[in-house]
Amino acid sequence: MTPSAVGRLEAAGLIVGDDGLARPPWAAVDPLLRTYYDTEWGMPVRDERGMFERLALECFQAGLSWATILRKREAFRAAFRGFDPDTVAAFADDDIERLLADSGIIRNRAKIVATIRNAAATIALRPEGGLAGFIWSFQPAATPAPCSVAEIPTISAASIALSKALRSRGFSFVGPVTMHALMEATGIVDTHVLGSHRRGSSGVWPGQ
């Protein structure tokens, strides 16, 4: 990469790594976040369990850093039995107490209870095509095309509509900002900066 190309990317708020690839600041330094950004973030998630896991993790992330959640991801998977909605929906009071005693996860009673209720709401969506199909139905006609990190939106009309629709179906901790993050993470929108090596990698949206 030429010095002028590096300069353009850095002017857009991206950080060029030692591998010559440009990433947003949140994904540029921590090895775990860097790998997550390079291999998973923004890739389509279309199965129920996968989408429920992402929804649950975004719920727990509210008010915290994503790095915190990502480091605890395997503990979350173990604690919530692989995020199988049928299993989680059947959790009782003793399961809530078990989760509150689990130092490997975020021990927030409101978020734990919300995840259990969201599992039941996920099951209720199955006759209508399921959670993943429901969330993907809010895919907008166009995706953002930020030229810099500063231009990346944190909320959208689509995420506001998705939040409202999920709440009407019994989901909680699904605010518009949280739902925008979910839509970014699961490929429903592509908010990679133009010129990033990840732009268009989902196959859902064109690269430029």
User: What residues are labeled active site?
Assistant: 36, 58, 66
Rounded Cα distance between 149 and 11, Å, is 9
Task: Report the alpha-carbon distance of residue 134 to residue 9 in Å, rounded.
Answer: 36
197 appears as a binding residue in the annotation: no
CA distance 69 to 90: 24
Contact 192, 199 (CB under 8 A): yes
CA distance readout (Å), 108 to 3, 64, 83, 154, 208: 47, 12, 17, 24, 41
CA dist 25 and 28 (Å) reads: 5
Task: Note the Cα 23 to chain centre separation in Å.
Answer: 17
> DSSP secondary-structure letter at 193?
P
Is the separation of the CB atoms in 60 and 106 below 8 Å? yes
The annotated binding site for Zn(2+) is made up of 192
The annotated binding site is made up of 192
